[in-house]
Structure 1
Amino acid sequence: MIKRSYYIFVLVFTLFSCDNLIVKKENQEEVLQEKWKEIDKNQVDEPPLFEACKQASEEEQKRCFQETINKHIGDYLSDHTITVQEAINDTVWVPLLITKEGDIILEDFLVPDIITSQIPDFKDILEESIEQLPDIEPAHTRSTPVNTRYKLPLVIRIN
């Protein structure tokens, strides 16, 4: 009797535990979609870098990137003779797209009225300065080059 009960117990236990022993095959599409949701699409592992910024620490690279662009644009604007009737002290947020190919594109943006009225070709000058920026390495996410957008503050002070 005990032997029979033992066999019945083993048989019942085996029947109910078989589901846990079978290896379930996961659908690759479902796994891919799940991993894609985990990625933060607003963060990059490596920011875009100018050659001069590659040696900087990770914390300094973003600041170096911004300073390089601001210095280049500032130098370019100071090379142009700009005459104004009123003093200008304003900040323009410059929207840049850095493509995964390493191109820098100035996106469309609104220029404050005081700048537009006194420097009508401001956007053209800014676009020329962006075109003359040094070569840049694109941002990377998981070792893959990606497009990134930045809005950099450009302070315009003309007396």
Structure 2
Amino acid sequence: MKQLSFILICLLVTSCNYFDVKKTSSEVILENELLTFNWNEVDEYPMFESCDGSASKEDKKHCFQNTLTNIITEKLQRDTLVVTQDINDTVYINFEISKEGILSLLTIKADSITLQEIPNIKELLHKSVDSLPKIYPAIRRSQQVKTAFTLPVIIKVN
């Protein structure tokens, strides 16, 4: 009986460690969450009103890019450009969309020949995005977020 009570007392003393509650501080939780957080991805891409809101994430992205490219191309084709040599260049437009859905052009990268032949290309591109339809901003974890994109636009002038 003494042996049985000794074993029970030992079990009781050592089992108390299993009932200890380990507390985790909010800083540790935040640090772990930030390590798993992918800063380069959004839950939903920016979207125009004309895009289907129930489409998949990739379809929304393609709709946004195609709509933006079509609007810029359409507005550039309205202008008559006179050049001394043929131009076949890709212009890279860096822009950002604010949390409020406002599109801002950041930089425009074009070949030096394109800039020489069409010196007002930057102004034309700025004008082409001035009257865009309503843009819904990107969403990350149910919050509207600012996003930045690079859009390639092919310029062909003969």
TM-score normalised over the length of structure 1: 0.92
CA offset digits 1:7-42 (Å, max 9, x no partner): 221222222221221122210121122112111111
Backbone CA RMSD of aligned residues: 1.4
Pairing 1:43-58 to 2, within 5 Å after superposition: 43-55=41-53, 57-58=55-56
* Structure 1: tracts of 5 or more residues without a match: none
2: distance between equivalents of 1:56 and 1:66? 17
Shift of 1:102: 0.8
Shift of 1:55: 4.1
Q: Which residue of 2 aligns with 1:122?
A: 121
Matched, 1:106 2:108: no
Q: Which residue of 1 aligns with 2:140?
A: 141
Pairing 1:29-48 to 2, within 5 Å after superposition: 29-48=27-46
Identity among equivalent pairs (%): 34
Q: Which residue of 1 aligns with 2:83?
A: 84
**SS of corresponding position for 2:104:** strand
**SS of corresponding position for 2:29:** helix
Matched, 1:20 2:35: no
Shift of 1:131: 2.0
Contact 2:97–2:146 at 8 Å: present in 1 too?
yes
- Across the two proteins, how many residue pairs are aligned to each other? 157
TM-score normalised over the length of structure 2: 0.92
Q: Which residue of 1 aligns with 2:64?
A: 65
Question: Where do 4+ consecutive residues of structure 1 move more than 4 Å?
Answer: none
Greater displacement, 135-144 / 105-114? 105-114
- Matched AA of 2:123: D
1: distance between equivalents of 2:16 and 2:129? 66
* Structure 2: tracts of 5 or more residues without a match: none
Bigger helix share: 1
2: distance between equivalents of 1:124 and 1:14? 80
Shift of 1:109: 3.5
